[in-house]
Structure 1
Amino acid sequence: MINKALPYYLEDRSGSYAGSDFDDIYDRLFLRVSRPPGSATDGPPNALMIYNVGRRSSNQRDYRPLQREPSVALEFGPSGTLGQISFMGTSVSMPMNQYLKKVSLFGGSLIRKFRASNGEEYKWTYKTESEHQWSCTDSGNYVVAHYNLKPPNKPAFRTSGNMLTINETHASLAIGELLASLTIMRHVAAYHL
């Protein structure tokens, strides 16, 4: 029997922010980040879509076609600049710089905050926690999510070694807000925005 109080451990299959599957190791959640069908796969993405594709058995992994609408659309500007974030199913659409704001005017771009649909403010930071590459904290500085890429010299056995962990009390934010904001943060880091 699965303990629903466990954090969501989402294995990032490819480690690429511009296209990957995120499987909960307990098969409770399956997410996908991908470029729109027919778009170029090299260079900075023009857009990324985030899908909640439900559970998927391991024998169907990587073969299931996307036959649903995305939960979130991320549209980027020329040369990878930040563009627009749109939450599908709602009328919420705004510039990424307005959604995911720098913490201070002169602060680095790898520390940004956003206000989630639950009214709370959250902050992503890069390499501030010793054991996490990316950390998301709430207003009380409690870590609600963190992400790590597998170090290149560390072996991985039957797994990618890349992991997004989300506290179970914040699972409702997993699709639209935590994964979307992390994807934007990783894009900012990749293109030094």
Structure 2
Amino acid sequence: MHSLKTIPITLEDRTAAITNTDFDDMYDRVFFQVVRNPGDTATRIYEMHVRATRNRNALPAKGEPVITLYFQPDETLGTITFNKHHKTMPMNHFLRKMSFFGSSLMRKFTASDGREYKWSYRSLDEQEWTCSTADDSYLVAHYDLKPPELPIYDVSGNKLIIYPHFAHITADILASLLIMRHISQYNL
């Protein structure tokens, strides 16, 4: 039998929306709620103590979010705030293009562990987004959308997989993924 420490964190993304969704681990180890109120330009990421999807209406997110993404009124990139560390920086400094003329959909970031990671769009088969170490030594995480031909039952089929050695930066990975998906959605 495998220890839960050796099984990847598999966060089901309930809606696949970048502004209001829940990310719940299938083994109930970690839960996040992503909230953006109508008319607001801030997307807040809350770490929940219980499965968010079962309690979204009964237990709305409260308290301080772990990370807040502040976008400009025209949806261009703004700032990211890591509330636990009281650190704010421009999103373009947190998530940097790999090269000046490179694709906007391939960017690197420095996580809270001090190491550099990178996201790329559709660089591997069956992965919408792929996160690896900056030198491509390790696959860190990937985000997969449900194939349109598959029926939906009790789960959405959209998932963020984070490999065990990188579980300690789960919130960083989630925040950077949301920004990458925002960049893609708004052609930034």
State the TM bucket, normalised to the shorter chain: over 0.9
Counterpart of 2:78?
83
TM-score by length of 2: 0.93
Deviation sequence 1:47-89 (CA, Å, 0-9, x none): 1000101233875355322122100010001310000000002
Counterpart of 1:47?
42
Deviation for aligned residue 1:127: 0.1
Counterpart of 1:185?
180
Which of 62, 70, 75 is the matching residue for 2:65?
A: 70
Which of 130, 139, 145 is the matching residue for 2:141?
A: 145
CA distance in 2 between partners of 1:99 and 1:7 (Å)? 25
Deviation for aligned residue 1:34: 0.8
Deviation for aligned residue 1:92: 1.3
Which of 147, 152, 155 is the matching residue for 1:156?
A: 152
Counterpart of 1:114?
109
Runs of 4+ in 1 over 6 A off after TM superposition: none
Question: Secondary structure at 1:79's aligned position in 2?
Answer: coil
CA distance in 1 between partners of 2:187 and 2:55 (Å)? 36
CA distance in 1 between partners of 2:45 and 2:64 (Å)? 9
Aligned residues: 186
Residue identity over aligned pairs, in percent, reads 45
CA distance in 1 between partners of 2:47 and 2:127 (Å)? 25
Partner amino acid, structure 2, of 1:152: P
Question: Secondary structure at 2:92's aligned position in 1?
Answer: helix
Which of 94, 109, 120 is the matching residue for 2:89?
A: 94
The worse-fitting range, judged by mean Cα deviation, of 111-120 and 61-70 is 61-70
Counterpart of 1:16?
17
Partner amino acid, structure 1, of 2:20: G
Q: Which runs of 5+ in 1 are unaligned?
A: none
CA distance in 1 between partners of 2:177 and 2:88 (Å)? 17
Q: Which runs of 5+ in 2 are unaligned?
A: none
Instruction: Please tell me whether the aligned partners of residues 28 and 55 of structure 1 are also in contact (alpha carbons under 8 angstroms).
Output: no
TM-score by length of 1: 0.90
Deviation sequence 1:142-171 (CA, Å, 0-9, x none): 111000111222212211000000011111
